[in-house]
Amino acid sequence: MIDIEKTLYSAHTCTTGGREGTGRSHDGRLDLKLSPPGAPGTGTNPEQLFAVCWSACFLGSLRHACNARKIGFPAQAMVNAQVDLAHGEQGFFLQAQLAVSLPDIEPQVALQLIDAAHQNCPYSKATRNNIKVSITLA
Report the domain count for the chain: 2
Verify that 62 and 129 share a domain, yes or no: yes
46 by Cβ neighbours in 10 Å (0-12 / 13-18 / 19+) ranks as middle
pTM of the complete model: 0.93
The pLDDT value recorded for residue 22 is: 97
Task: Give me the CATH number covering residue 86.
Answer: 3.30.300.20
Query: What's the pLDDT tens digit per position in 17-74?
Result: 999 999 999 999 999 999 999 888 889 999 999 999 999 999 999 999 999 999 999 9
Task: Give me the CATH number covering residue 26.
Answer: 2.20.25.10
Query: What's the pLDDT tens digit per position in 62-108?
Result: 999 999 999 999 999 999 999 999 999 999 999 999 999 999 999 99
Beta-bridge partner residues of 94: 85
Cα–Cα distance measured from residue 47 to residue 27, given in angstroms and rounded to the nearest whole number:
23
What is the residue range of 10's domain? 1-44
The pLDDT value recorded for residue 103 is: 97
